[in-house]
């Protein structure tokens, strides 16, 4: 068991102000796998004071030096990749092979990407008689979720450090252990005291203390839309900058000329990734009515290849959900779908056979779904797909955009150019065409109630900078 009894503040592991602890539970065994401090507002005050004290020197550190620290952080994460993958698989339930690539590999890649981004970024430019300068924003509070726990941390911490900001991090209390691995690396590479601080705890205590703190200049939050609204409300009291990456109910439009096998496979893979616990999952599959039965049949066939079981087993394609609370939430949505008249093609609310222990849910596909149904409008965060028919492309686009969210989408067609034309009409921050891969250098973020601000690449760096003009 990983017993992490201290917080990281001002360059040292320190005892928390309070005595409370939070158990971290293995999603497969339902046993305690770790323990972290239950931080308090007093701990946040200490961490913010350390970050504020370190800001002047860190912000004045040449960008080349900051980039060297990021390089060392990437090397440290690479050296701990297996440990990170096993830890996140235990906490979250993602199959280990995927965790090695996504939960461990991707954060290290993103950390390393900011070495070149920082070194190449135009922090100064001349416009007429003005020198336009991009300066670090200040102390940044980073509040992160549990589904991709280290990746979401690095998406904030790496660009903030590259920009010259100092950081106070609150990882999710449900999956905090990989953040401690990162903090070990921070300590090992000798990042100056106060530049990075870690305070674990609950959102209503530690998260709200960060969001409302007068000495925090910016809050970057990833999580639910409900919690994001609260962060923005608290941050507004001190007029601090806020970046929000929130929920999604992403459409996947299969065009009439699409190769069905390939398209449905891409759609199911997105929907079921990480047990459906993915903000960008394509949970609404929009199928042309002329090919609807064919697509539903193929979705059933492919969904039933997603073997549910122990995520450390090489044959497992779908592990457990993060917690009993999440499992019950997903089951409730499945029951609601049934009650509202959608047809279960495969899956259902019952515990999968032979898996008495662990927070497992059957991979579930619904057909005959209307876009006004609950399962088509609300983010379920589980392996649940809703297949919605459409009559023509205008209707497909209308259905795709008929949501409060706008984080992600997909379009799959036989003609890539035409698929791209359809993609341009969808109001979402990212649209994948014909199953293209995730690009860690492209801007990531949402429209509408999926939030505002962008992460990754140079666009992520820009979030942590202020713009000043000097008239010369």
- The residues annotated as belonging to the active site are 245, 279
Q: How far apart are CA 348 and CA 361, in angstroms?
A: 8
Sorted by sequence, the CB contacts under 8 Å of residue 364 that are 6+ apart come out as 303, 334, 344, 346, 347, 348, 382, 383, 384, 385
* Cross-strand pairs, 242: 219
Are 72 and 119 a contacting pair, CB within 8 Å? no
Q: How many CB atoms lie within 10 A of CB 350?
A: 10
Q: From CA 239, how far away is CA 19, in angstroms rounded?
A: 33
How far apart CA 426 and CA 407 sit, in angstroms, is 10
**CA distances for 182 relative to 31, 104, 111, 189, 198, angstroms:** 24, 11, 11, 11, 10
Q: What are phi and psi of 169, to 5 degrees?
A: -105, 130
Do residues 461 and 163 lie in contact, with contact meaning Cβ atoms separated by under 8 Å?
yes
How many CA atoms within 13 Å lie on the side-chain side of 449? 16
Structural contact between residues 348 and 337, judged by C-beta atoms closer than 8 angstroms:
no
Is residue 447 within 8 Å of 431, Cβ to Cβ? Answer: no
End-to-end CA distance of the chain: 60
User: Dihedrals φ, ψ of 65, to 5°?
Assistant: -70, -40
Residue the block writes with tokens 């999956």 = 175
Both tokens of 260, joined, read 């069905």
Tokens of 117: 């981004």
> SS3 of 437, please?
coil
Helix (H/G/I), strand (E/B), else coil: 400: helix
The residue with tokens 């006004």 is: 372
| Chain center to CA of 44 | 23
């Amino acid at each position: 068991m990983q017993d992490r009894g201290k917080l990281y503040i001002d360059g040292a592991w320190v005892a928390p102000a309070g005595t409370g602890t939070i158990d971290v539970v293995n999603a497969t065994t339902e046993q305690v796998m770790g323990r972290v401090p239950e931080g308090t507002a007093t701990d946040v005050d200490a961490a913010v004071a350390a970050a504020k004290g370190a800001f002047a020197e860190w912000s004045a550190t040449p960008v080349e030096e900051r980039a060297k620290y990021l390089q060392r952080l990437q090397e440290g994460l690479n050296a701990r990749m297996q440990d990170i993958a096993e830890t996140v698989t235990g906490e979250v339930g993602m199959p280990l092979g995927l965790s090695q690539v996504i939960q461990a590999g991707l954060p290290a890649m993103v950390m390393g990407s900011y070495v070149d981004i920082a070194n190449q970024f135009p922090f100064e430019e001349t416009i007429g008689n003005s020198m336009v300068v991009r300066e670090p924003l200040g102390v940044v509070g980073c509040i992160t979720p549990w589904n991709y726990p280290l990746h979401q941390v690095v998406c904030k911490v790496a660009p903030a450090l590259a920009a010259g900001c100092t950081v106070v991090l609150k990882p999710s209390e449900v999956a905090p252990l990989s953040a401690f691995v990162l903090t070990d690396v921070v300590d090992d590479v000798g990042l100056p005291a106060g530049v990075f601080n870690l305070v674990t705890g609950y959102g209503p205590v530690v998260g709200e203390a960060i969001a409302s703190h007068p000495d925090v200049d910016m809050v970057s939050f990833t999580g639910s839309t409900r919690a994001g609204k609260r962060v923005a409300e608290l941050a507004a009291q001190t007029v601090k900058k806020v970046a929000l990456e929130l929920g999604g109910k992403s459409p996947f439009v299969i065009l009439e000329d699409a190769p069905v096998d390939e398209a449905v496979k891409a759609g199911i893979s997105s929907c079921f990734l990480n047990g459906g616990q993915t903000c960008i999952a394509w949970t609404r599959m929009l199928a042309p009515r002329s090919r609807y039965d064919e697509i539903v049949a193929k979705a059933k066939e492919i969904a039933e290849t997603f073997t549910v079981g122990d995520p450390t087993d090489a044959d497992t394609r779908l592990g457990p959900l993060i917690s009993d609370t999440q499992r019950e939430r997903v089951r409730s949505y499945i029951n609601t779908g049934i009650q509202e008249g959608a047809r279960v093609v495969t899956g259902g609310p019952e515990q999968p056979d032979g898996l008495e222990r662990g927070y497992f849910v059957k991979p579930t596909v619904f057909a005959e779904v209307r876009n006004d149904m609950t399962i088509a409008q609300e983010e379920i965060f589980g392996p649940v797909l809703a297949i919605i028919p459409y009559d023509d492309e205008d209707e497909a686009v209308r259905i795709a955009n008929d949501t409060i969210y706008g984080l992600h989408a997909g379009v799959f067609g036989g003609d890539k150019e035409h698929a791209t034309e359809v993609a341009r009409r969808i109001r979402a921050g990212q649209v994948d065409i014909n199953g293209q891969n995730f690009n860690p250098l492209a801007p990531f973020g949402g429209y509408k109630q999926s939030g505002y601000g962008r992460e990754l690449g140079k666009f992520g760096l820009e979030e942590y900078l202020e713009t000043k003009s000097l008239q010369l």
